[in-house]
A and B are shown apart, each in its own frame.
Chain A
Amino acid sequence: MYDARHTEAQVDQTETKISAKGVQVYYGDTHAIKDVDVEIADKTVTAFIGPSGCGKSTFLRCLNRMNDTIDICRVQGDILIDGEDIYDRRVDPVQLRAKVGMVFQKPNPFPKSIYDNIAYGPRIHGLAKNKADLDVIVEKSLRRGAIWNEVKDRLHAPGTGLSGGQQQRLCIARAIATEPEVLLMDEPCSALDPIATAQVEELIDELRLDYSVVIVTHSMQQAARVSQKTAFFHLGNLVEFDDTTKIFTNPEDPRTESYITGRIG
């Protein structure tokens, strides 16, 4: 269950990238996130685990203010990225989302060509000076998304024509193309086969060198393999947050232990 990768990647004392304090989220009257405090370090992979419906996606969406698009959703508490409150009035959520990229639970390619899907973000943010520049960005992103070899001959075919797993990798590549500082991934591998999963995990490991990555996953093995820090959510509460090694070998809370050994969930 625990392979060698995470032990060698012992967490150095890196600076905090995201710091959440006393976060509460309500959907109308439903209290979905209850008083969560979390410090997410820079250049680390943080995994969110927990049973279905415990609020992992909800909390993840708070980090790039995607919850703003849901009318009934209210977020309270402080979330700071690089020491700046992202829910401050002066912060433009659109700018924020360019900095904090997101890959969704369900693959959602745009009804455009594969090329245009990747080029979407760079075009909006003016990251490419000319067509050649854009071509480079597109190729680099597709390579990092571990899908280049499958699509290099049909860059102008529709992205919606790919298989589910290919679509998800396309979405990962699309998120990377905007060069975010933080990448939020909501169950990015739930539609992938073991080979593609391994490729994505490799990619995550590589991204860690430059970015802070937060990944939601239902696979304990995956969390153990790719992350250095793990947060366990249960019924909207953050039960335990610690080094991944610690969570998987010597959890403090009995609920964490039951969950990782498969007794609740």
Chain B
Amino acid sequence: MSLIWLLGLVLAIAAVGYALGRTRALSSTNGDIRKLHSLPSYYGANVALKSAIPALLVLVVWLVAQPLIVSGVVSSDIPDSAIPEGSSRGLVMSEVKRVAAGLDGAVAAGTMSASYAASAQADMDDVTKRMRDAQQITPEALTPEILTAGQRFRAMVAQGKWAMTAVVLALAVAGAFWGLRESHAEFRARNTVERVTKVLLIAAASLAILTTVGIVLSLVFNTYEFFTMYPPLEFFFGTTWAPSFSGRGGSSELGIVPLLWGTFYISIVALAVAVPIGLFSAIYLSEYAGPKVRAIAKPLLEVLAGIPTIVYGLFALLTVGPLLVSIFGKDGFGWMQSGTAVMTAGIVMGIMLIPFVSSLSDDIINAVPQSLRDGSYGLGATKSETIKQVVLPAALPGIVGAILLAASRAIGETMIVVLGAGAAARLSLNPFEAMTTVTAKIVSQLTGDTDFSSPEMLVAFALGMTLFVVTLGLNIFALYIVRKYREQYE
């Protein structure tokens, strides 16, 4: 029985349980709803939840645990003699799994019968040939040990599947019975459903948090490994970024300072473009524009947010870069060597962030109560005085939040940097020079052929970790500002 079927069956049992629970509760009071503690649907839901949740939980755990247990058992049964020189148990085990998959495929394609696939007397060459006929990948030399292990693997997987189906279905039915027994007038079904709902919500929240923790842990682990190979002091304070890829010899210099500088410089240029334009257009849209202008302008502005960043990257490379060169390059001021520069990437990134800042700020400004504006107008203030002195201060915490959100997007942006700012890690104050950012370097460190144990590769995790800490700090700072302001004015 396939997984989908099993899932469907469990849900069907829950659905039947729902209907039965409802009717049972109703019949316990001879159809008088008012005598029930809860509405009939709560009794139904109680049964459905009790049959579905434990069964599905066991299903998930089983699906995760079974492959681990099966390969553990099979691999420990492989005799040491079956492991060739220079190989390892893990490599042999993957061979075994491939054979198992091959046998499955051959049986499915009809080139061997199920009993033949499981038989201990099978001839190596014949088995290989039949698997090949079914277009399966086969080991170069199939040994009896590997074949036996593969057959064992198949058998255990099949057994496990049956056991799983049986256990899950039994649990579903048992849960339904448990719920049904409770379906009588005094049972507080409503409270039970309430509690289960709460637990489900908590589970969802914890899953999200655990995932974050998992991501951070994987970063931490690899970062630690990097720091065992490369001195942290040189990483954090080194002012040169010059990785030499292994094989070419020589030692790399992996200082993060030029990358962080590039990240901040480009982000600051981007925010300098996005914040005033975004904020002013939000103020125009929410305070001055008539409903007609608003209905057209707001969606148009938000179209900007739907453009993929790679398109912005092309815009930087093909339009903004050359334009800036024609003004600030050799023919103009002579400050700019080529189109790729901090300015190019920063301006384009700023354009990308405008709708971000403007639509968030617009919502926040609209949420400022009209009575505050009335109060200000009533004292003889003009529109711009009202906005400057009443509306914006009231909206400030939200606007700061919007700006910091935009800042974390700017820091994390990669594509525009790669195409607009170049790949040279450089510490310079000139915004018309090419620079690069942390994210762009993470990409370039991980592309190409390098093994995952060299510092040049692992540095990507240290970079990612640093970026994570920086963004986290930024968010905490934002929360702090918002909260401080709230305390003052609420």
Chain A residues proximal to chain B, CB less than 8 Å: 64, 66, 69, 71, 94-99, 101-102, 104, 106, 108-112, 120-121, 124-125, 158, 160-161, 171, 174-175, 178
Query: What residue of chain A has the Cβ atom nearest to residue B488's Cβ?
Result: A158
| Pair A110/B385 contact, Cβ less than 8 Å | no
Point out the residues of chain A lying under 8 angstroms from B489, CB to CB: 111-112, 158, 160
Point out the residues of chain B lying under 8 angstroms from A110, CB to CB: 372, 375-376, 389-390, 393-394
CA gap between A174 and B380 in the complex, in Å? 12
Query: What residue of chain A has the Cβ atom nearest to residue B370's Cβ?
Result: A69
Point out the residues of chain A lying under 8 angstroms from B385, CB to CB: 124
Within 8 Å by CB of A66, from B374, B381, B389, lies B374
Point out the residues of chain A lying under 8 angstroms from B376, CB to CB: 110, 120
CA gap between A71 and B370 in the complex, in Å? 13
Point out the residues of chain B lying under 8 angstroms from A121, CB to CB: 379-381
CA gap between A25 and B389 in the complex, in Å? 31
| Pair B490/A120 contact, Cβ less than 8 Å | no
B-side interface residues, number (CB < 8 Å): 23
Query: What residue of chain A has the Cβ atom nearest to residue B389's Cβ?
Result: A120
CA gap between A104 and B373 in the complex, in Å? 12
CA gap between A66 and B377 in the complex, in Å? 8
Does any Cβ of A come within 8 Å of B378's Cβ? yes
Asked, given contacts A111-B393, A111-B394, whether A124 binds B381 with beta carbons under 8 Å apart, the answer is: yes
Which of A108, A112, A175 gathers the greatest number of chain B CB atoms within 10 Å?
A108
Does any Cβ of A come within 8 Å of B291's Cβ? yes
Does any Cβ of A come within 8 Å of B369's Cβ? yes
Query: What residue of chain B has the Cβ atom nearest to residue A109's Cβ?
Result: B375
**Whole-angstrom distance between the Cβ of A120 and the nearest chain B Cβ:** 6
Point out the residues of chain B lying under 8 angstroms from A120, CB to CB: 376, 379, 381, 389
Does any Cβ of A come within 8 Å of B382's Cβ? yes
**Whole-angstrom distance between the Cβ of B101 and the nearest chain A Cβ:** 67
CA gap between A64 and B290 in the complex, in Å? 23
A-B contacts, 14 of them at CB < 8 A, read A69-B377, A71-B290, A71-B291, A94-B381, A104-B371, A108-B371, A110-B372, A110-B376, A112-B489, A120-B376, A121-B381, A124-B380, A158-B489, A171-B375
| Pair A64/B381 contact, Cβ less than 8 Å | no
CA gap between A125 and B385 in the complex, in Å? 11
**Whole-angstrom distance between the Cβ of A40 and the nearest chain B Cβ:** 18
Within 8 Å by CB of B373, from A69, A106, A160, A174, lies A69
| Pair A104/B374 contact, Cβ less than 8 Å | yes
- What are the interface flags for B134-155 relative to A under an 8 Å C-beta threshold, 1 for contact and 0 otherwise? 0000000000000000000000
| Pair B382/A102 contact, Cβ less than 8 Å | no
CA gap between A108 and B389 in the complex, in Å? 14
**Whole-angstrom distance between the Cβ of A171 and the nearest chain B Cβ:** 7
| Pair B393/A97 contact, Cβ less than 8 Å | no
CA gap between A66 and B375 in the complex, in Å? 10
Point out the residues of chain B lying under 8 angstroms from A94, CB to CB: 377, 380-382
- What are the interface flags for B276-315 relative to A under an 8 Å C-beta threshold, 1 for contact and 0 otherwise? 0000000000000011000000000000000000000000
| Pair A178/B488 contact, Cβ less than 8 Å | no
CA gap between A102 and B378 in the complex, in Å? 6
- What are the interface flags for B372-413 relative to A under an 8 Å C-beta threshold, 1 for contact and 0 otherwise? 111111111110010001100110000000000000000000
**Whole-angstrom distance between the Cβ of A54 and the nearest chain B Cβ:** 20
**Whole-angstrom distance between the Cβ of A69 and the nearest chain B Cβ:** 6
| Pair B380/A98 contact, Cβ less than 8 Å | yes
| Pair A97/B372 contact, Cβ less than 8 Å | no
CA gap between A97 and B379 in the complex, in Å? 6
| Pair A104/B380 contact, Cβ less than 8 Å | no
CA gap between A178 and B373 in the complex, in Å? 17
